[in-house]
Structure 1
Amino acid sequence: MPEDQRQRPLLEDVQAARKTLEGISRVTALEGSRYLSRLVGAPVHLKCENLQRTGSFKLRGAYTRIAGLGEEERARGVVAASAGNHAQGVALAASLLGVASTVFMPVGAPLPKIAATREYGARVLLSGQVVDETLAAAQEYAERTGAVFIHPFDHPDVVAGQGTVGLEIVEQCPEVGTVVVGMGGGGLAAGVAVAVKALRPSARVVGVQAAGSAAYPPSLAAGRPVSLEGVATMADGMKVGRPGDVPFRIVADLVDEVRTVSEDALSAALVHCLERAKMVVEPAGAAPVAALLDRPGAFGGNGPVVAVLSGGNVDPLVLERTLRHGMAAAGRYLSLRLTVPDRPGALAALLKKLSEADANVLAVNHVRTDPRLGVGEAEVELQLETQGPKHCAELSRTLGAAGYRIVG
């Protein structure tokens, strides 16, 4: 690794990055959440990096890194690899600085992120199935062409740029007791920890990873970055199989705890952000909220809590699937198969019973010919929107009491 990547950014580096970013990145809002505050037992605020330029915090680190290049390096152009947010940050930063950029993105990256990256001025090349494979392709391109590789998280300038989020948090919430931040490679969590721990030493910094791509817990246990054999999560912004060397050392020293959250928890958090906070976030951006919803009692004992909504660049199709998954995880969808008499009016009577029980029927499939059914029976498959787990249980009891046999 080059010598400059062995450096560890300090508070003064983060403060210098903020000066570099003046007029470039936004000071994003800190919004209170009454629901999460009641749940956690302490004031909870959402740091809205989903409203940052390019839709995520990534512009901060990308611009800081590219702005620090010399004239000869800028003339060679830059290359990056990303599932989408870093791609957009690099593309916009390079355009603002008059530097040519090439961005490698994984095959299957969300189409809106690909389109936005191109619109910000980058040439986009698709390679690899996960970010680690895409990183390797971009690094090979850099070696072959001389372009400067802009790593998404493993460089001190990038970490310093992301750390400006932490400066803003402490200024906006001086009494902050806990900062909850999502983690993929660790650049954001490391930068936030550098700033927050220097200015507010008593504050806790809690990292959150998707359980299907959680490289930090085994790496911290081993005392060095280790690679996962595979990663699987809907949170493409967290789909990183190995921590960065630079952020890993900072996380190991300064981050108090790393938690993991399930896909169900991510989905439920995304639904919560949309319904209660009126915020569109991507699954990776919802990870801190997922952690709060998952175990609220673990966060309220040290004063105000700030959860970083790191990004809002979500593919509408992914959003649709995730919302459905989140509502199902929250017990607001119910799938049922039950038998009814095969006679005129039987289906109408069933639907009337569901209406009286305040269930919203989303889909109905009426099966009349199946070896499992008795003579004079039909089967109805239902997709219902409910009011929550208690309502689901009540619906099952109501249908059973009305004589319907639930078979699945």
Structure 2
Amino acid sequence: MITLADVEAARARLDGNIRRTPLIAADNLSAPISTADLYLKLECLQATGSFKARGATNRLLATPREQLEKGIVAASGGNHGVAVARTGALAGVPAHIFVPETIAPSKLAKLRQWGAHVELVGQVFDEADRAARAYAASIGAIYFHPFADPLVVAGQGTLALEVLDQLPDVDTFLIAIGGGGLIGGMGTAIRALKPGARIVGIEPVGCPTLKASLDAGHVVTVETITTRVPTMTCARTDDAVFELVRSVVDDIVLVDDAAMVDAARWLWFELGIAADLSGAAAAAALMTGAVTVRQGEKVCALVCGAGPDGIV
């Protein structure tokens, strides 16, 4: 689907158009969640509040201007939509964003503040996705897919390049999964530059899209979605993304919604980090023991999105 060269081209394209986010040591804690040397990559401080700004901006900058004349259409559980809304504002073209009715109110407000035209459709991402594709086709607009577009995946992969610059001796990456584009893009760069690093994905118990597919050996559809984390309600991944993820990921673990809430509260109390529930998924995997680490292991947990979920 993509190569390291695609990720490096994305980094050059994005230079000056997104933020280089901090990587901090999770130390001086009253209640540590691991004996590992834990580092947090604060992509919650990225433009628009999530890593999605990388993929959406890369897609925009690589798209000929004439293809943008009728606007940009996207479907999203929240974060990708906000990122695409920003790209539309930067390009001076309308952005039409389709989201499930379960979208977090804070992300809905952000979409509207960026000037996007918002349509609320269904309860999960896949319903919004079908409506978005049909709308884009009806008006002849370009569709920015949140995880099945190689340019979007390459943009997300630039996050791994930053971490490897900031923490070259990292042992393990903990990466939340929605549709698989983030872990696929990061994994491509990690496998090329630090092949011995461990890559662990985290999905919700209530929507184990990639884990179910890997267990089956082919892409499957999650028939019943019970998680209330809208950014992690993708029922089916893309075939090319599945093959990419299968080639780079060591393991996928599951956490429940309550664990993500607890982790978001821990991030806020201990570190003052306002993460959404997907952004707290990596910390939740450590807190629950879903992922096992050894003492002194250098672990990078990605805080992939911002939100008020842990502020109580």
TM bucket normalised to smaller: over 0.9
Could you say which structure has the greater relative contact order, defined with CA pairs below 8 angstroms and 6 or more residues apart? 2
For residues 363-405 of structure 1, the C-alpha deviation after alignment (integer angstroms, 9 at most, x for no partner) is xxxxxxxxxxxxxxxxxxxxxxxxxxxxxxxxxxxxxxxxxxx
Select which of 12, 15, 26 maps to 1:22.
Answer: 15
Report the counterpart of residue 126 of structure 1 in structure 2: 120
Report the counterpart of residue 154 of structure 2 in structure 1: 160
1:11-160 to 2 correspondences below 5 Å: 11-34=4-27, 35=29, 39-160=33-154
Select which of 278, 285, 297 maps to 1:284.
Answer: 278
Tell me if the contact between 2:204 and 2:255 (Cα under 8 Å) persists in the aligned partners: yes
Q: Which amino acid aligns with 2:264?
A: L
Larger Rg: 1
Report the counterpart of residue 251 of structure 1 in structure 2: 245
Tell me if the contact between 1:175 and 1:303 (Cα under 8 Å) persists in the aligned partners: no
Q: Where do 5+ consecutive residues of structure 1 fail to align? A: 1-7, 324-408
Aligned pair count reads: 311
Q: Distance in 2 between matches of 1:33 and 1:319?
A: 17
Q: Distance in 2 between matches of 1:156 and 1:144?
A: 23
Which of 161-170 and 293-302 deviates more? 293-302
Q: Distance in 2 between matches of 1:132 and 1:211?
A: 18
Q: Distance in 2 between matches of 1:111 and 1:263?
A: 18
SS for the counterpart of 1:115 is helix
The alignment status of 1:217 with 2:223, answered yes or no, reads no
Q: Distance in 1 between matches of 2:11 and 2:91?
A: 16
Pair 296,114 (structure 1): closer, same or farther in 2 beyond 3 Å: closer
Pair 37,159 (structure 1): closer, same or farther in 2 beyond 3 Å: farther
Pair 271,66 (structure 1): closer, same or farther in 2 beyond 3 Å: same
Q: Which amino acid aligns with 2:18?
A: S
For residues 113-164 of structure 1, the C-alpha deviation after alignment (integer angstroms, 9 at most, x for no partner) is 1221122122111112111000000000011111111111111111100001
Q: TM-score, length-normalised on structure 2?
A: 0.95
Q: Distance in 2 between matches of 1:39 and 1:137?
A: 41
SS for the counterpart of 2:77 is coil
Q: Which amino acid aligns with 1:13?
A: D
Q: TM-score, length-normalised on structure 1?
A: 0.73
1:335-374 to 2 correspondences below 5 Å: none
Please report how far the alpha carbon of residue 37 of structure 1 lies from its aligned counterpart in structure 2 after TM superposition. Answer: 10
SS for the counterpart of 1:292 is helix
Q: Distance in 2 between matches of 1:54 and 1:237?
A: 14
Please report how far the alpha carbon of residue 313 of structure 1 lies from its aligned counterpart in structure 2 after TM superposition. Answer: 2.9
Q: Distance in 1 between matches of 2:212 and 2:141?
A: 33
SS for the counterpart of 1:44 is strand
Pair 296,81 (structure 1): closer, same or farther in 2 beyond 3 Å: closer
For residues 169-190 of structure 1, the C-alpha deviation after alignment (integer angstroms, 9 at most, x for no partner) is 1000000000000001011111
Please report how far the alpha carbon of residue 232 of structure 1 lies from its aligned counterpart in structure 2 after TM superposition. Answer: 1.6
Pair 143,294 (structure 1): closer, same or farther in 2 beyond 3 Å: same
The alignment status of 1:208 with 2:190, answered yes or no, reads no
SS for the counterpart of 1:306 is strand
Q: Where do 5+ consecutive residues of structure 2 fail to align? A: none
Q: Distance in 2 between matches of 1:285 and 1:42?
A: 19
Q: Which amino acid aligns with 2:147?
A: F
Please report how far the alpha carbon of residue 196 of structure 1 lies from its aligned counterpart in structure 2 after TM superposition. Answer: 1.3
Pair 168,32 (structure 1): closer, same or farther in 2 beyond 3 Å: same
Pair 302,183 (structure 1): closer, same or farther in 2 beyond 3 Å: farther
Structure 1 segments, 4+ long, off by >6 Å, are none
Q: Which amino acid aligns with 1:17?
A: A
Q: Distance in 2 between matches of 1:296 and 1:210?
A: 11
Please report how far the alpha carbon of residue 94 of structure 1 lies from its aligned counterpart in structure 2 after TM superposition. Answer: 1.8
Q: Distance in 2 between matches of 1:190 and 1:302?
A: 27
Aligned-residue identity in percent: 38
1:386-401 to 2 correspondences below 5 Å: none
Tell me if the contact between 1:67 and 1:97 (Cα under 8 Å) persists in the aligned partners: no
Q: Distance in 1 between matches of 2:12 and 2:213?
A: 34
Please report how far the alpha carbon of residue 39 of structure 1 lies from its aligned counterpart in structure 2 after TM superposition. Answer: 4.7
Pair 36,257 (structure 1): closer, same or farther in 2 beyond 3 Å: farther
